[in-house]
Chain A
Amino acid sequence: MSQNTDLLTLRSVSKSYGKVPVLHGIDLSIRDGEFLTVLGPSGSGKTTVLRLIGGLEPLSSGEIRLDGHDISRMPINRRPFNTVFQDYALFPHMTVSGNVGYGLSVRHIKRKEIASRVAKALDLVQLGRFADRFPAQLSGGQRQRVALARALICQPRLILLDEPLAALDLELRRQMQEFLKSIQREIKTTFLFVTHDQEEAIGMADRICVMQAGHIRQLGTPHELYYRPNCEFVARFFGENNLVAGKLGTVQGEQRSIETALGRLVCSVSDQPHLKAAPDGAGAFAAFRPEALRLADTRDSDNHFGGTIADLAFAGSSTVATITAGPDSAAQRLRLRMPSRIDGSALKSGEPVSLSFAPHEGHLVLA
């Protein structure tokens, strides 16, 4: 599994349905052996990307290259990719083994070989006992696994998964996430996984490609996207980021200040040259995570400001406080997440608090 070589490359790929554009010149490289998640709200074009790669729809312009060869016009049934559909698309008139073996039997592979490969694939998804059942006799999670076995038996270069977990309930979804990830490690095949669920994306992906309105907003590891979003959309889409608008100030080493309604805040700009280079006074946001915000007693640290607790919400292992901070004319609502304690929070609604976050835990995004 050499994650450095590119398996598939999309070059300024555009797609329109009639006059309605859904993708605006996407560039994307998928590395061999990685688990890449395409994440975005509905209407962002994420499913279209998958359908274009799978060959279910023609491109409007641009090209798709596999190992450097243009496959944009290769018909769907010749592409070495297989899809796990959102509704599973199992053939209702075939048994589980009929479904799983379909991709081999249409290629006129010998019955004996099909039988042994089907058995192996069903073992891999732990459905060996269900080989003779029909799809209607299976639960949602089992159908999902049949769909996966049917896709991976053809030994595709790339498996495309179109929100395959959307129809499952929460507990089953968690199990299937782990299951998919372990299968992917075992068979060492590249997975392209489409979802609108950021938690799912963070939990499974090697890299995440965030899409919005037909554009790729950011491509990076879950860690990068979570802690170093490059735009307001990604910062807001991932978790419950606190965003405070302001104007950029001076650069000091790997940090830069920003003038906001909460006063002057200092945030890290390491590895983000475009933020270092942005002109003074440019509009930006200071972004920091609810878990980075702390109750502070001392007034000596940077990024220090006062606020009032508006609401406290107990959420099991953590407690989230909603805080109003800043002058009344430009009051900011912030979230603070802290570990819950058995004897309850020391805080009460309506209490004034003193807050801060460490500069290296804050970052900037351009407005």
Chain B
Amino acid sequence: MSTLPRFSTIFLAAITTLVAALLYSPLFVPIVSSFFPLSQGNVDWSSPTLSTYVSLAQNHDILAALRTTLIVGLCTVVLSVVSGTLLALYYHGRRAGRSFLQFIIFLPFLMPPIISGLALLIFFREIGLERSLLTVVIGHTVFVLAIVYRTVLTRLQSMSRTLVEASYDLGATGWQTFWRIILPNLSSAMVGGAILAFALSFDETMITILVTGTQSTLPVRLWAMMRLGFSPDINALVALILMFTVLLCVLAARFLIPRQMAAERS
């Protein structure tokens, strides 16, 4: 960067600042305003308070939605990590049909969620499956499978083939090699993939609205609340979800990035 003329450096810095401000300032507004009470439709900036958080904690609808979200998220994580890892293991080193499988796995992730959601809805109706939390979990799993599959496959591909050969060479069986060599080397990729899958499931709205039964998840609940009008609870809820999502992303990065850099160095 030092080779650029001074003027361009300032210009680029200004653009970067502007983009960052445009991206992040809308996020800060609800966070900041969640600490102030509303009076007659306007934010009262004079008296900071935690009352919005208190009323959020007393809102049983929200708490129920949060519990639903966590249940769906955990089930989705378990299902997608197990099936994503198995798919990655099965297709690692196999040429035939791999790009087709990749396409199939990535399609629901890349398609507009409303299309995925509608397709699932029609499918569930055709096979006679009642809309419930089960259908939500299935929908989320189909959606996030690509992330887990990709994360695990990348780690598998960066793993030296001779590790497996060395294990057999030292007398291990296929089962021992899987549990003691392959799985431990995939574990951090699986944890990273699980966190990303959970974050995606936590935020997912469109598919959820279409395939859920009577219970709503947190984002769906939030959406419903917003249609009824602007309430200070929403600011608090958005602030909490934001914090939680950022935390998950930082965690996922911790599990995924250092290993990849180490692999590149060697």
Contacts and interface: CB of A to CB of B under 8 A. Distances in A.
A226 interface: no
B171 A106 contact: yes
Interface string A41-80: 0000000000000111000000000000000000011100
Interface stretch (A12-20, A85-93, A190-198, A353-361): A85-93
B67 interface: no
Nearest to A103: B170
Contacts of B168: 56, 76-77
B167 interface: yes
A91 B173 contact: no
Contacts of A86: 162
B171 A85 contact: no
B130 interface: no
Contacts of A83: 165-166, 169
Interface string B149-188: 0000000000010110111111111001000110011000
Contacts of B127: none
A154 interface: yes
Given A76-B168, A77-B168, A92 B173 contact: no
B167 A102 contact: yes
Q: Which of A76, A78, A82, A154 has the most C-beta atoms of chain B within 10 angstroms of its own C-beta?
A: A76
A87 B171 contact: no
A56 B171 contact: no
Contacts of B22: none
A77 B165 contact: no
B152 to A, nearest CB: 16
Contacts of B170: 77, 82, 102-103, 106, 150-151, 154
A56 B169 contact: yes
Best-buried of A89, A91, A107 by chain B (most CB within 10 Å): A89
B265 to A, nearest CB: 10
A89 B171 contact: no
B259 to A, nearest CB: 9
Nearest to A51: B165
A82 B167 CA distance: 10
A136 interface: yes
Interface in B183-209: 184-185
A135 B214 CA distance: 54
Contacts of A154: 170-171
Nearest to B170: A103
B172 A77 contact: yes
Contact of A106 (B160, B163, B173, B262): B173
Contacts of A107: 171
Given A89-B162, A91-B163, A82 B184 contact: no
Given A85-B165, A85-B166, A136-B262, A91 B172 contact: no
Contact of A89 (B163, B176, B185, B262): B163
Given A77-B172, A77-B173, A106-B172, A89 B184 contact: no
Interface in A80-113: 81-83, 85-87, 89, 91-93, 102-103, 106-107
A56 B172 contact: no
Interface of B: 160, 162-163, 165-173, 176, 180-181, 184-185, 262
Given A76-B165, A82-B170, A87-B160, 7 more contacts: A56-B169, A76-B169, A77-B168, A77-B170, A83-B165, A85-B165, A102-B172
